Structure 1
Amino acid sequence: MAQAMKIAIVDDEQDMRQSISQWLALSGYDTETFSSAEEALKVLGPDYPGIVISDIKMPGMDGMQFLKKLMGSDSALPVIMITGHGDVPMAVEAMRVGAFDFLEKPFNPDRMSELAKRATGARRLTLDNRVLRRELSDGGQIMKKLIGQSPVMERLREDILDLGQADGHVLIDGETGTGKTLVAHALHAVGSRAGKKFVLISCAALEEEVLSKRLFGPMLPEDSMLPAIEEARGGTLVLEDIDALSETLQAKLLSVINEQGTPAETRIVAISNLQEAGKTCEDALRPDLFYRLAALRITVPPLRQRGEDILTLFTRLSEQFSEEYGCDAPQVSAQEAAQLLQAPWPGNVRQLINIAERAVLQSRRGSGTIASLLMSDHEEMQPVMTTEGKPLKEYVEAFERMLIDNTMRRHKGSIASVMDELCLPRRTLNEKMAKYGLQRSDYLA
């Protein structure tokens, strides 16, 4: 689940704090205000779930000192600095130290909202990947996150294991929301570089000049970070939104790749997130760079091709959200299971996560249906229209598997309790569990 982003506003002028807070609150952000850098530092730890907007000129600890403290604690924390008219040199210095960007007074509120959107997006990506890295003590852990028994998921796991052992650069593509970044983590975790650095950069989240410096340098002696190419030496550098690279940066990246030779000192995993109709990563990149990156390639399957994995994922997600919200997970009827299987899922797993959370919330209120959630996402969608016609038998079997799976989970593997609830004799239950690849050991508490 995406973590809610906060915005910490630090300014010694109360009117300025309040006006920024009110504007950002109207834009849907959760804000908190601080009258001094010293006060803010008591709250802004290394994994602060948000970004910082700070004035440069403040009594006591000024904005530059504050920025250096924040960068020393968490160099990936986006900090937007507010400068007075004529303080552009100071703003440039702040960018060198590590500021995400700056606003010059009097600033356009829409410009501030735009920066806040980019900065919170970058922060969410950073925090999500830190959580993943903490969970990935070994490759087996992340492979467990690639849930599903559909043929396309079996093939994806096989591809990850094969390419993880290779040493060439990799291109990962696929529709938005399919889990391409998770696949990049898996490639690193199952390969020989697993114990080395894993560095992830979003090419679309940074302005070209900042991105160039972050990727290739030169870094000044005072900078706390190495260029990403150096930082990831011996390990893996993941470049999200590779298609957002300008022609100049594409040329620089190609030059670095050519200089490294084979095997590469730094393995590059490029992720393409192109969403424009009829356009591909090959269209966006210069041919020589594309073919260097796409020597090894993984296409992550869309959710609509994953069959009954949809029900398995929905069950897992709704269980997680029900535990988080302190309520029971919604019970899925046969009709609702069919609707989940039939939905087109343009937002893929990301959309499924959203639907599962909303299903839990409306179940807690005792109202609403899964069909209404699906139709609110896609008004043109008919209640039970399928993107691909399937035999009735497939829908029945998918629902039956989900029902047994859910019941086994709820009773923590107690065969007697499951037999009683589903009114099944022991032999029939055993046969169905074998048919659907369900093992009692997976459910024991």
Structure 2
Amino acid sequence: MTVSRTKQAHLIAVVEDDPGLRELLQEELESGGYRVAVFETAELLLVQLETQFPALIISDIRLPGMSGLELLAQLQQREKQPPLILVTAFGTVDQAVDALRQGADDFLTKPLDLEHLLVSVERVLDYHQLRDEVEAYRRSVNAELRGPGGIIGASRVMRQLYAEIEQIASADGSVLILGESGTGKELVAQALHQQSQRSDGPFLAVNCAGIPSELLESEFFGHAAGAFTGARNARAGLLKEADGGTLLLDEIAEMPLALQAKLLRVLQEGRMRPVGSDQEVKVDVRILAATHQDLEQRVDAGEFRADLFYRLETFSLAVPPLRQRGDDIELLAEYFIDQLQQQQPKPVQGLSAAARDLLYAYRFPGNVRELQNAIERAYTFCDGELIEPEHLPARLRQNQSAAVAAPVSAPAHWPTIQELQADYVRKVLVYTEGNKQQAARILGVTRRTLYRWLTNDD
């Protein structure tokens, strides 16, 4: 192998067994300002690729040993694949089409038109450079649209949530994650874990509503061998399994009061006693609790311990519903389409304007989970490039029909801006069932501002 270093430009590898043509190609490419490495066989090139990566490969098809087409197949198995121009003296249209279909970037026939060769080289290099730039830009945009833990969203309310996650993650106290079903509370919990000092430890999630009440204590605290019928062997329990890491208690509101008291002791003292054991065990675990219910209301009703609630509420996060996230609806829809494309390739490229309008007009009571299911259904039924309204679930189309059919008439009294604001604040408070902290978050104001509005309204 010989390498020319006439100019620090693109490195081009030439694979050609004819010494005369190999030298001619090297001279022509060097005169065009490229660095050139030449090889007699494809096997020699593949060895060199382990330490040196060319910007482009020019290879004859007919070579001793591995052919140019076989070289193309070998390159396609690599994670990073350089572009390839194939050359042959026996070119036919069918052979050219077959080579391009298999992934070659261009196909040239002998005798070579050297001017055409340089044009082809420049065109292929420009194309791949542009493609790499577009891909880099796409990755940077996707990074900007993603929050901690890979959460998708760029709306104001989500950026505020990301900032809160970053602040709270560095602390080690318990966290209460509030939000409607389907908003992504577990993703928030995973983000907290990944950004915490416990990220190298285990992350476990358990749904308190999904375990029979008679098994809850054993599941959480473990049990000694023979503690009850069927307990042949000792079990560590979820709290001990998550030792050194994080445990997410989803649907914490469903935890029985007796178990809440034992959990509070773990939070306060870092110790627990397995069922049927007379020995206490130390545990070092961060507790994250999630619920879609109003725990304050549960406390008032005597269905949740006040001391545990205040312990968990030291740090709290409210995950916004999808209807408050603006353009995130379209962003998430496109993300789900991309994911489906990777799993089940189809011509579907995105949403039509009409389908997009339907998504924005719908309130999504099931939040992100409902949107994901709707896009999966639409993708399945769509045979073209764009998802249309008829591909979406019927309830979304019916929602728009109802909105269009609703008559608009002039009111007997036009309310003032102050009256509209007061009415809207009252509706938000009804929606949050009187939770002023959550209401202030929805309204985008501080709790002090909300209190001032309520005082002025009274």
TM-score normalized by the length of structure 2: 0.48
Structure with larger Rg: 2
